[in-house]
Structure 1
Amino acid sequence: MPVSSRLRRVAVLVLEGAKPLDVGIPAQVFTTRASMPYEVRVCGAAPGLVTGADGLSYSVADGLDALAWADIVFIPGHRNPDRDDPPPAVVEALLAAHERGTRLAAISTGAFTLAATGLLDGRRATTHWHYARALAAKHPSIKVDENVLFVDEGSVLTSAGAASGIDLCLHILRGDLGVAASNHAARRLVAAPYRSGGQAQYVPRSVPEPLGERFAATREWALRRLGEPLTLEMLARHAAVSPRTFSRRFVEDTGYTPMQWVMRARIDAARELLERSQHSVEQIAAEVGLGTGANLRLHFRRILGTTPTQYRRTFAQGT
């Protein structure tokens, strides 16, 4: 979507038992600054003091009217989600906001509040892995996926626990402002610039931790060499494991095969060059390791559903 002069409006809905990290992540990521054309309001079921989790309380100036104001509403997780239902007024306000075109994004166990609206029925969704089965049992019509970081269903989005809220926020930023703005925010937060929604919530316990660290180092190594030839054998050799072991573990860690991940990393690098440089499509294709402009156009459309030229018109800085 083109960047408009109006600040995008973000509401963070704080309910009883809200988890501090879940509240703080969208409030901090989208806080108004020169690089972030957003305005944030933290709200509750009513203005005043809201008792949160972990010994914290929140003094909110806005009530549910903020949901009518917002372009996107974040619903942080809260304690005892499988036992405590949201107040009917909250459910009604969320439904009314969604009807007006507002996106609703749940972090962690905030998925239970979003599920209470019925808007997740028949859709994929996720939540913190510890509560995934409880969500599926309470709302059997939801296609609960406990093995991913976040799920984007367009007008409704859900994420796993705590830090995956950052991944969801960065994903939303990429869609709103482009990959350069998302990467800038990630650097400010000292966060991984891109973890796919399909990445596993946690590494299986049977895998020794040093191997996970080794694979992370290999991904960093590959990101610095996207313009060079990269093969499965080269990646496995860097990680000092067999190609078969590397492929299996890579899918568990990221949700992609190694070469799918490399392709998406190259497309992301191309996106940033399209936004920040005047290089031609042919030059960018060569810089990110895709060889020709035709090859870049092919994979760009397959992954993003648009062309490099259309993408540049939408997100190029200064437009």
Structure 2
Amino acid sequence: MHRIGYLLKDGFQLMSLATLSVFEFANLAAGDDFYEIAHYSLPGGSVRASSGVPVMTVKVTPSTYADTWILGGVLNPIEQPSLPRERAFVRQAAQASRRMAAICTGAYTLAEAGLLAGRRATTHWLYADALQARHPDIQVEGDRIYIVDGSLWTSAGMTAGLDLALAMVEKDLGPDIARRVAHKLVMHQHRSGGQSQHSEMLDLAPKSDRIQTALNYARKNLAQPLTVEVLAEQVHLSPRQFSRIFTEEIGLSPAKAIEGLRLEAARLMIERSRHPMEVIARETGFRDRRHMREVFLRGFGVPPQSLRRDAPPTLSA
């Protein structure tokens, strides 16, 4: 039996409790009640989520134990800092438990308790810079889905908590159970922690039709050479003009943006197909498989093979 304790407080984000479904379906997939779940708070009794939904909790005491503690996030961790009693309990619980996890802005509580000093961590992208500024001794990686540093787990915002919970299931019960849980929950894949919180294709939002036209051309022709000269010709600009305007509107150089588009396209092909890596590299414009691997490590922090391993078999055929 593995006991999971959710530590909640007034104003917590209800999405944090969506991770309960991961552990519930893990029990069903394993055919055994491996996980036992309980809700706790400092005062005990009814705790209200930011949406107003009440959740009954058990009051924590110095002897309260859980193998895994999960801290829910709040809407604004800067305006809702953790209380001294909360920080004291979190420090004590972290010493006694197997692991301590924070979903979304719950990472602020870990940081305020002093547990993330000298460690890697992530949080919702909107609050990552503030977390770094307030706690310069933490290596905040604001563009990661989740990060595991020793016994401390942190995730990005909202649905990233599901990926963190699924990674726990994989660690506890193995990849087969984790894949079955992902399938049951209609999660297209178990995203690895190294993946970006953002989509390059969605983030590129140019101001002018000319740059939009160039990006549309690039997306449709990733397998072709996409030099500044080629893209500039599509919108009837000189390479120098095009490069200047593109960088001003996108905030990235043309080469960096194209690399991001290729990376995103390759990731989708890996997750949704069984094409060999050589084919995926060729179709998305990388020089070869080795070049694609280098870009994946630089962009996602993991090799492309890890995404292939994480994709559910029924969804990647």
TM-score w.r.t. structure 1 length?
0.70
1:21 counterpart (10, 15, 25): 15
SS of residue paired to 1:31: helix
SS of residue paired to 1:109: helix
Counterpart amino acid of residue 16 in structure 2: D
Q: Give the deviation of 1:184 after TM superposition.
A: 1.2
1:49 counterpart (34, 46, 51): 46
Mapped to 1, the partners of 2:14 and 2:298 lie a distance apart of 29
Preserved CA contact (<8 Å) 1:49 1:59:
yes
Q: Give the deviation of 1:37 after TM superposition.
A: 1.0
Counterpart amino acid of residue 255 in structure 1: G
Q: Give the deviation of 1:267 after TM superposition.
A: 6.0
Mapped to 1, the partners of 2:63 and 2:107 lie a distance apart of 17
Q: Give the deviation of 1:255 after TM superposition.
A: 3.5
Query: Is 1:255 equivalent to 2:301 in the alignment?
Result: yes
Q: From the superposition, tell whether residues 46 and 198 of structure 1 become closer, same or farther in structure 2 (CA, over 3 Å).
A: same
1:170 counterpart (166, 169, 175): 166
Aligned to 1:144: 140
Q: Give the deviation of 1:110 after TM superposition.
A: 0.4
- Worse-superposed segment, 144-153 or 87-96: 87-96
Structure 1 residues 45-84: aligned runs within 5 Å: 45-53=42-50, 55-65=51-61, 68-84=64-80
Mapped to 1, the partners of 2:82 and 2:47 lie a distance apart of 14
Preserved CA contact (<8 Å) 1:49 1:57:
no
Mapped to 2, the partners of 1:8 and 1:108 lie a distance apart of 23
1:206 counterpart (204, 207, 212): 204
Preserved CA contact (<8 Å) 1:17 1:78:
yes
Q: From the superposition, tell whether residues 101 and 59 of structure 1 become closer, same or farther in structure 2 (CA, over 3 Å).
A: closer
Q: Give the deviation of 1:52 after TM superposition.
A: 1.7
Preserved CA contact (<8 Å) 2:4 2:38:
yes
Mapped to 2, the partners of 1:265 and 1:128 lie a distance apart of 22
2:284 counterpart (215, 235, 241): 241
Preserved CA contact (<8 Å) 2:74 2:80:
no
Structure 1 residues 35-46: aligned runs within 5 Å: 35=30, 37-46=34-43
SS of residue paired to 1:69: coil
Query: 1:56-89: CA deviations, max 9, x gaps?
Result: 2322231224982210011111022023221222
Q: Give the deviation of 1:147 after TM superposition.
A: 1.5
Q: Give the deviation of 1:213 after TM superposition.
A: 7.6
Q: Give the deviation of 1:215 after TM superposition.
A: 3.9
Aligned length: 251
SS of residue paired to 2:24: coil
Aligned to 2:150: 154
SS of residue paired to 1:157: strand
Preserved CA contact (<8 Å) 1:107 1:158:
yes
Give the fraction of aligned pairs with identical amino acids, expressed as a percent.
32
Q: From the superposition, tell whether residues 267 and 219 of structure 1 become closer, same or farther in structure 2 (CA, over 3 Å).
A: closer
Q: Give the deviation of 1:265 after TM superposition.
A: 5.2
Q: From the superposition, tell whether residues 265 and 61 of structure 1 become closer, same or farther in structure 2 (CA, over 3 Å).
A: closer
Counterpart amino acid of residue 47 in structure 2: V
TM-score w.r.t. structure 2 length?
0.70
Preserved CA contact (<8 Å) 2:270 2:308:
no
Gaps of 5+ in 2: 206-214, 220-260
Query: 1:205-260: CA deviations, max 9, x gaps?
Result: 128697688545411354x35xxxx343x1034xx43115993875676433xxx3
Preserved CA contact (<8 Å) 2:7 2:69:
yes
Preserved CA contact (<8 Å) 1:148 1:198:
yes
SS of residue paired to 2:199: coil
Aligned to 2:99: 103
Gaps of 5+ in 1: 1-6, 274-319
SS of residue paired to 1:68: coil
Mapped to 2, the partners of 1:114 and 1:67 lie a distance apart of 20
Mapped to 2, the partners of 1:175 and 1:123 lie a distance apart of 21
Preserved CA contact (<8 Å) 2:271 2:307:
no
Query: 1:66-117: CA deviations, max 9, x gaps?
Result: 9822100111110220232212222111111112134110011000011111
Aligned to 2:130: 134
Mapped to 2, the partners of 1:131 and 1:152 lie a distance apart of 19
Aligned to 1:219: 270
Counterpart amino acid of residue 42 in structure 1: H
Q: From the superposition, tell whether residues 117 and 67 of structure 1 become closer, same or farther in structure 2 (CA, over 3 Å).
A: farther
Counterpart amino acid of residue 151 in structure 1: I
Q: Give the deviation of 1:118 after TM superposition.
A: 0.4
Q: From the superposition, tell whether residues 50 and 203 of structure 1 become closer, same or farther in structure 2 (CA, over 3 Å).
A: same
